[in-house]
Chains A and B, each alone.
Chain A
Amino acid sequence: MDILQALLNGFGVALEPLNLLLVVLGCLVGTLIGVLPGIGPISGVALLVPLTFALKMPPESALILLAGIYYGAMYGGSTTSILLNIPGETSSVVTAIDGNKLAKQGKAGPALAMAAWGSFIAGTLSVVGLMTLGPLLAQWAIRFGPAEYFALMVFGFSTLSALAGKNLFKALIATGFGLMLATVGQDPQSGISRYTFGFLQLEDGMDFLVVAIGLFAVSEVLMLLEEKTPGAVRAQVGRIYLSFKDFMGSLFTILRSSVLGFLIGVLPGAGASIASFVAYTTEKRLLGDRARFGEGDLRGVAAPESANNAAAGGAMIPLLTLGLPGSGTTAIMLGALMSLGVTPGPQMFQQHPDVVWGLIASMYVGNAVLLLLNLPLVGLFVRLLAVPAWFLIPAVLAISFIGVYAVNNNPFDLLLMAVFGLVGYLMRKLEFPLAPVLLGLVLGYLMEINLRRAMTISNGDVGYLFSSPIAVGLWVLAGLSLLAPVLVARFRKQGLGGDEEL
């Protein structure tokens, strides 16, 4: 099918009243989540999935809503970075360096406008990239058999482990822990119960939402309780404007960072956070003496904000074409889609064109909505920070209870959530990355089933896993990716100088 024709059909889906409403809602909720420190996009998306089930939304509507929250949070995260030096999300940590300096110099307005325009341009470019690269990759991946899929997942896990945390082995343990959780419940092929320890509630396995909300939302509440975050904060927002000269001066930074961010987003494991700091350091080196990075340069805001939005679009490519999510947030989207009866993968472009193209078209709409929403309403969003923590954080927990309970209407899940809340808290303290657990849990089933299918085809010959050039290529890439932490560490050192913690 012609891409333009498909896109046109996609707009037909995206512009249906319900879906249009969901795009706006997703962008709004995403921006709120981005602005509020303490609630990350993963918790936000996880908390809204039960809603999509409860409302019996069709899969395309659910995905449109969840994706809106995801890239909306990228927009919102910059606001508090710039105004208060409190990054709303990890992907906006770098934005705070120059953004907050600008705000202190009285240039908060231009900085916020730059973040919004950079995000808009990057977001739109990344959708164009998704639209052109996605179908190509899907056509290539459609020939994948079980052996290639298994190798692909090994590759996904190794890049994720290599990039997710500071310590590769802690990331590998986190991945393994997620895979362990995935094996709980009835074995899909032989039907025997594994690791249920007599709990009937575990026969169907652990629900990814219960684990996600416990691991991310509940542990976030515990962390905030320990830090005793100061209550309400107030910030002044001036007029949001951007001079044409400033815009043109940053245009090439935006374009370069968009491409860079998009490519990094496509890699599993390298999400928006890595994209934002790689873009910042690259621009810093490229511009050299022509820019004053670190002292309040608009390009220091444009680079990370463009990159993180482009990465959010790029991350949709492996999710939609290979069924391989690269981050915690996209893992939840995968889980939600599978619960709704749609398994992302190369066939999806043919079997569910409504879902894929509806999503792509909705992302064009969403980026425009975010720009319209953000330029005039930033002041309003910031006023939300005046809501005291003692109300906001318990309220998030109350919503978590509803989300978890609604999954199976079973209070056992609330118990499980509490356990994972403690596990998540300890993992954060000990610097184990959390996202690999979620990915292991969501992908573990597919990984095992593909391994076993491959072994059934080859009648137990392990060599079959290495028998095709694609599979061998993926195994090599998986091995190489484990070297990535060394490179990332060098990048961190060179780009930012000193031992600045990121």
Chain B
Amino acid sequence: MTDRIVGILILLLALGYGLEASRMQVGFLSDPLGPRPFPYIIAILVGLSALWLIFKPDPDPTWPAPRFWPVLGLVLLSLVAYAYLVVPLGFILTTTLEMTLLSVLFGARWWQGLGGALAFTLAVYFLFTEGLGVTLPVGRIFG
């Protein structure tokens, strides 16, 4: 059943993808083929495969225990927050917090996680910025 639903979603994706291609405006400076046919080919390939999936689905996968979903949601949310906060708050602070959260989710006590996270983040921060010349955000709030 899961595969049927996934198949329908993928079919919709393929249709949307093909439709978007058909709306592309092509200038007069194009090659004979233009920018549209290649996406059409992909849309057909994916669409037909999705149809097959709808008619011949695999057995359902084993989904995780219900209490895993909030954990997954929390981790994804924290990754999104990380992307928005890393420039304003800086690499060291955000990475330490993210690592601490994950450590706790993997079963560490919060102080263990915080200690490990802070030590590791500081070590890689200086290794990459001072040692290897990679620029990482310092944090706008630190001026």
Q: Do A and B come from the same complex? A: yes
Q: Which residues of A contact B (CB under 8 A)?
A: 50-51, 54-55, 166-167, 169-170, 172-173, 175-177, 179-180, 183, 187, 189-192, 194-195, 218, 221-222, 224-226, 228, 231, 388-391, 393-395, 397-399, 401-402, 405-406, 409, 411-412, 414-415, 417-418, 421-422, 425, 429-431, 447-448, 451-452, 455-456, 459-460
In the bound complex, do residue B53 and residue A169 qualify as a contact, i.e. CB atoms below 8 Å apart?
A: yes
In the bound complex, do residue B34 and residue A190 qualify as a contact, i.e. CB atoms below 8 Å apart?
A: yes
Contact (A406, B134) CB under 8 Å given A183-B38, A429-B61, A460-B32: yes
> Would you give 25 A-B contacts (Cβ < 8 Å), ordered by A?
A54-B133, A172-B49, A175-B45, A176-B42, A180-B39, A183-B38, A183-B39, A194-B21, A218-B79, A222-B75, A226-B68, A228-B106, A390-B102, A393-B102, A393-B106, A394-B117, A395-B99, A401-B82, A401-B91, A414-B79, A415-B84, A417-B83, A418-B82, A430-B6, A452-B32
A389 CA to B58 CA, complexed, in Å? 33
Q: How many A-B residue pairs have CB under 8 A?
A: 192
Give the chain A neighbours of B24 by CB distance below 8 A.
Answer: 192, 194
| Contact-size category for B | 35 or more
In the bound complex, do residue A169 and residue B49 qualify as a contact, i.e. CB atoms below 8 Å apart?
A: yes
For A170, A175, A191, A221, which residue has the most chain B Cβ atoms within 10 angstroms? Answer: A170
For A179, A190, A192, A429, which residue has the most chain B Cβ atoms within 10 angstroms? Answer: A190
In the bound complex, do residue A173 and residue B86 qualify as a contact, i.e. CB atoms below 8 Å apart?
A: no
Contact (A421, B99) CB under 8 Å given A177-B46, A190-B35, A415-B83: no
In the bound complex, do residue B39 and residue A452 qualify as a contact, i.e. CB atoms below 8 Å apart?
A: no
* Other-chain contact of B35, A189, A224, A225, A399 (Cβ < 8 Å): A189
**B75 → chain A closest CB, angstroms:** 7
Give the chain B neighbours of A226 by CB distance below 8 A.
Answer: 64, 68, 72
In the bound complex, do residue B72 and residue A225 qualify as a contact, i.e. CB atoms below 8 Å apart?
A: yes
* Other-chain contact of A417, B50, B79, B107 (Cβ < 8 Å): B79
In the bound complex, do residue B103 and residue A173 qualify as a contact, i.e. CB atoms below 8 Å apart?
A: no
Give the chain A neighbours of B2 by CB distance below 8 A.
Answer: 430
In the bound complex, do residue B113 and residue A390 qualify as a contact, i.e. CB atoms below 8 Å apart?
A: yes
In the bound complex, do residue A190 and residue B42 qualify as a contact, i.e. CB atoms below 8 Å apart?
A: no
A55 CA to B128 CA, complexed, in Å? 10
Query: Nearest CB to that of A456 among chain B residues?
Result: B31
Contact (A421, B35) CB under 8 Å given A169-B53, A399-B124: no
Give the chain A neighbours of B20 by CB distance below 8 A.
Answer: 195
Query: Nearest CB to that of B29 among chain A residues?
Result: A190
Told that A391-B116, A412-B83 touch, could you supply 14 new A-B pairs with CB distance under 8 A? Answer: A54-B128, A172-B49, A173-B50, A175-B45, A190-B35, A194-B35, A398-B120, A401-B95, A409-B135, A415-B83, A421-B79, A429-B63, A452-B31, A455-B32
**Top 7 A-B pairs, shortest CB-CB distance:** A176-B46, A414-B83, A418-B79, A390-B106, A390-B108, A394-B102, A394-B99
In the bound complex, do residue B95 and residue A222 qualify as a contact, i.e. CB atoms below 8 Å apart?
A: no
Quick one: which of B13-62 are within 8 Å of A by CB? 14, 17, 20-21, 24-27, 29-35, 37-39, 42, 45-46, 49-50, 52-53, 56, 58, 61
Query: Nearest CB to that of B32 among chain A residues?
Result: A460
B10 at the interface (CB under 8 A from A): yes
Quick one: which of B112-127 are within 8 Å of A by CB? 112-113, 116-117, 120-121, 124
Give the chain B neighbours of A414 by CB distance below 8 A.
Answer: 79, 82-83, 86
In the bound complex, do residue B102 and residue A397 qualify as a contact, i.e. CB atoms below 8 Å apart?
A: yes
A175 CA to B113 CA, complexed, in Å? 39
Q: Chain B at the A interface: mostly helix, strand, loop or mixed?
A: helix
**A94 → chain B closest CB, angstroms:** 24
B80 at the interface (CB under 8 A from A): yes
In the bound complex, do residue B52 and residue A455 qualify as a contact, i.e. CB atoms below 8 Å apart?
A: no
Give the chain A neighbours of B32 by CB distance below 8 A.
Answer: 452, 455-456, 459-460
In the bound complex, do residue A398 and residue B98 qualify as a contact, i.e. CB atoms below 8 Å apart?
A: yes
Give the chain A neighbours of B12 by CB distance below 8 A.
Answer: none
In the bound complex, do residue B80 and residue A415 qualify as a contact, i.e. CB atoms below 8 Å apart?
A: yes
**B141 → chain A closest CB, angstroms:** 15
Contact (A411, B99) CB under 8 Å given A179-B42, A460-B33: no
A388 CA to B83 CA, complexed, in Å? 27
Query: Nearest CB to that of B57 among chain A residues?
Result: A167
A167 CA to B57 CA, complexed, in Å? 10
Give the chain A neighbours of B30 by CB distance below 8 A.
Answer: 189-190
In the bound complex, do residue B79 and residue A183 qualify as a contact, i.e. CB atoms below 8 Å apart?
A: no
A390 CA to B30 CA, complexed, in Å? 54
A171 CA to B105 CA, complexed, in Å? 33
Give the chain B neighbours of A166 by CB distance below 8 A.
Answer: 58
In the bound complex, do residue B95 and residue A398 qualify as a contact, i.e. CB atoms below 8 Å apart?
A: yes
In the bound complex, do residue B38 and residue A448 qualify as a contact, i.e. CB atoms below 8 Å apart?
A: yes
* Other-chain contact of B76, A175, A398, A422, A431 (Cβ < 8 Å): A422
